[in-house]
């Protein structure tokens, strides 16, 4: 199985190569519909990677894409007057902003390859994958509560790491998934949709840890495991 470290290396290289192609297309002022489609895909993939590899540049990367509130056209690639009109009128300025975004992705690669980059999080990601695989096996064999407990620990540990990465202070001594979830939501790391989804996963995990009227089913735990896997890959 390809390790997470190898995967991230490959992903960064592909994003840089794809970004350079899109930038060249924009500078030549060719089909703007093609640019819009390819840029949106590139932006989403790049943002997900930067959140993991270079979290302190996430705000800058997002600002080049869209700046909330009032502002001038030169401040962001997507402006509320309309994506297409902006590119037609100011494609040159869009090229400069896109170069800045591409530069952030390239700096993410440099940090990744630098000895200063803490690869602990990537090793931890491999460990999480193994633990979720173990949880699946337990669930298949009927050890439903044990499988759910393992998945819950993975989710809680991941959210704790997210808080540490973002320097979000946790004051409670005994923290739960919902405590971490509340913190990352309050600090704009996640939106309302993800916040509620994590709440739901926490409820499934609690079925495994406490005696409730409702017993967890294999389907409940499979949903929990899939949900945890989604969260650790995207947040």
* CATH code of 149's domain: 1.20.120
**Measured CA distances, 109 to 56, 70, 86, 89, 132 (Å):** 14, 33, 30, 32, 28
> How many domains would you assign to the chain?
2
Q: Which of 42-46, 92-96, 213-217 is predicted with the least confidence, judged by mean pLDDT? A: 92-96
Q: What is the pLDDT of residues 65-78, one digit of tens each?
A: 765 444 444 455 65
- Assess contact for 220 and 167: CB atoms under 8 A: no
Mark whether 98 and 124 lie in a shared domain: no
Domain end residue (candidates: 85, 113, 141): 113
Q: Can you list the alpha helix ranges (DSSP code H) found in 54-143? A: 58-65, 83-113, 120-140
Mark whether 86 and 131 lie in a shared domain: no
Token pair, residue 57, equals 């540049």
Mark whether 125 and 168 lie in a shared domain: yes
What does the mean pLDDT of the chain come to?
80
How far apart are the C-alpha atoms of 131 and 146, rounded to whole Å?
12
Mark whether 158 and 105 lie in a shared domain: no
What's the domain range around 16? 4-113
pLDDT in the model for residue 159: 92
- Give just the sign of the alpha carbon dihedral 226, 227, 230, 231: negative
Q: Is 2 left (phi over 0), alpha (psi -120 to 50) or beta?
A: beta
Mark whether 137 and 47 lie in a shared domain: no
Mark whether 39 and 86 lie in a shared domain: yes
How far apart are the C-alpha atoms of 38 and 22, rounded to whole Å?
7
Within a 10 A sphere around the Cβ of 195, how many other Cβ atoms? 16
Domain end residue (candidates: 91, 113, 135): 113
pTM of the model as a whole: 0.52
Mark whether 126 and 195 lie in a shared domain: yes
Mark whether 126 and 186 lie in a shared domain: yes
Mark whether 85 and 130 lie in a shared domain: no
Of 78 and 44, the one with more pLDDT:
44
Q: Which of 22-36, 132-146, 191-205 is predicted with the least confidence, judged by mean pLDDT? A: 22-36
Mark whether 59 and 141 lie in a shared domain: no
Given a cut of 50, whether residue 2 has pLDDT beyond it is no
Q: What is the pLDDT of residues 96-138, one digit of tens each?
A: 778 888 989 988 887 776 644 555 666 566 677 778 888 898 8
Banded model confidence at residue 228, pLDDT cuts 50, 70, 90 = very high
3-state secondary structure 40-56: HHHHHHHHHHHHHHCHH
Mark whether 129 and 64 lie in a shared domain: no
Mark whether 107 and 151 lie in a shared domain: no
Given a cut of 80, whether residue 92 has pLDDT beyond it is no
Given a cut of 60, whether residue 86 has pLDDT beyond it is no
Q: What is the mean pLDDT of residues 211-225?
A: 84
Domain end residue (candidates: 113, 141, 160): 113
């Amino acid at each position: 199985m390809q390790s997470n470290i190898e995967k991230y290396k490959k992903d960064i290289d592909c994003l840089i190569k794809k970004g350079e192609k899109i930038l060249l297309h924009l500078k030549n002022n060719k089909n703007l519909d093609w640019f819009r489609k390819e840029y949106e895909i590139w932006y989403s993939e790049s943002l997900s990677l930067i959140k993991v590899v270079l979290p302190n540049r996430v705000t800058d990367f997002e600002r080049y894409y869209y700046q909330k509130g009032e502002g001038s056209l030169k401040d962001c690639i997507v402006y509320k007057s309309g994506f297409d009109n902006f590119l037609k009128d100011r494609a040159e300025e869009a090229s400069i902003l896109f170069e800045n975004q591409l530069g952030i992705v390239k700096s993410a690669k440099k940090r990744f390859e630098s000895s200063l980059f803490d690869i602990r999080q990537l090793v931890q990601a491999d460990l999480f994958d193994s633990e979720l695989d173990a949880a699946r096996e337990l669930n298949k064999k009927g050890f439903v509560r044990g499988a759910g407990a393992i998945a819950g620990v993975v989710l809680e540990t991941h959210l704790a790491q997210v808080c540490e990465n973002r320097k979000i202070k946790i004051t409670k001594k005994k923290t739960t998934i919902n405590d971490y979830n509340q913190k990352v939501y309050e600090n704009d790391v996640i939106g309302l949709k993800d916040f509620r989804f994590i709440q739901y996963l926490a409820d499934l995990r609690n079925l495994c840890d406490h005696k409730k009227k409702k017993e967890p089913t294999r389907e409940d735990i499979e949903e929990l495991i899939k949900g945890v896997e989604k969260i650790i890959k995207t947040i």
